[in-house]
Chains A and B, each alone.
Chain A
């Protein structure tokens, strides 16, 4: 149980795909100008990641390693297509505003990376927790960034006006440079949190020894 929790936590903080591993950045910075895009993209990504990892992990003994890349791509492509079609059918607005980034989930390095590095070698249960941790780790960063960017840059949250009417939106945060700035600050925050967790673990270990 402890091990599973650690796998899950790794995705959220210590091995966060965006803030520590620095993969899958393009889509993360591009879609986070509004909160609804951030949530949509995060959940779409988590869904594809979860089912791809389940599939790959289940059939890992049946996939020959020489042709694994094309097979992974087909599996990932299949789930991406499902997400794409579902979004188009039930959330046409969201699908339109995220545009090309939904089909681009296929080539997102996070999914390919986790499938290749983790679930191709690990048991099914471990893979599920890895997918959930990584997916939610991606989602919280996206939602957090987009919340900052939308509230400061547009004065709204999920499309609802939250800042007082007299608030002059700081357009900078919606524009690309604002995305880079917020992202830099998020990395700094994550490093601080990671160091704090390491210190706490050290203190706990020292207490036990004493």
Chain B
């Protein structure tokens, strides 16, 4: 029950893009079509879960016992960056099909704030390992959902008459605002 709660809160109620303004760059930049945003979403999910699985034990079994908590930021960023690199090598060699689909998104992910936010929050919220993984999946599913929603809206917008002064990026933010308003309805899901 507790895990379900974490999942729903992180995916819908506190959606990382629409409610917390994190990872906006990729949200605006990578949503030109639904396929692209889906690829990006899946790649982020994959790396976030892996990064959580790597950083949680590292912090709790290595940094905390040695009282090196102040190294958290530097070490986590290094871990995420090298993890992305390793995943890229592995996929390139062993699963070329997946690499072709996901490969171009991987380098972009190193600097995705959603991943850094998740790995730091797992620690600051004192989640257990299982809870951290669920939280990572929830946040990245929320990311995927928001990406696909905006990509869908953008596809429709191409054939609609947008007022001249809102053409380009302004209309994207206004659409986001409307999607966000719809998401506020989810707040009632959990008391």
List residues of A whose CB falls within 8 A of some B CB.
22-23, 25-26, 29-30, 107, 109, 172, 175-181, 183-185, 187-188, 191-192
**Given A26-B22, A30-B20, A177-B184, A187–B169 Cβ distance below 8 Å?**
yes
Query: Which 10 pairs between the two chains have the least Cβ-Cβ distance?
Result: A184-B173, A177-B180, A180-B177, A181-B177, A188-B170, A184-B174, A29-B21, A25-B24, A187-B170, A177-B181
A25 touches B21 (CB 8 A): yes
Taking CB atoms, residues of chain A closer than 8 Å to B87 are: none
With contact pairs A175-B184, A181-B177 given, residues A191 and B21 touching in the complex (Cβ less than 8 Å):
no
A184→B184 contact, CB < 8 A: no
Interface contact tally, CB-CB below 8 A = 66
Interface class of chain B by DSSP? helix
Nearest B residue to A180 by beta-carbon distance?
B177
In the complex, per-residue mask of B10-40: 1 if CB is within 8 Å of any chain A CB, else 0: 0000000011111111001000000000000
How many angstroms between the C-alpha atoms of A65 and B111 in the bound complex? 20
The one of B21, B25, B165, B184 in contact with A30, judged by C-beta atoms closer than 8 angstroms, is B21
A176: chain B residues within 8 A (beta carbon)? 18-21, 180
A172 to B18, CA, bound (A): 14
Question: A22 with B174: in contact, given A109-B25, A176-B18, A177-B180 (CB under 8 Å)?
Answer: no
**What are 30 A-B contacts defined by CB distance under 8 Å?**
A23-B25, A25-B24, A25-B25, A26-B21, A26-B24, A26-B113, A29-B21, A30-B21, A107-B113, A175-B184, A176-B20, A176-B21, A177-B18, A177-B176, A177-B178, A177-B180, A178-B177, A179-B21, A179-B177, A180-B173, A180-B180, A181-B177, A183-B173, A184-B166, A184-B172, A184-B174, A185-B170, A187-B169, A187-B173, A191-B165
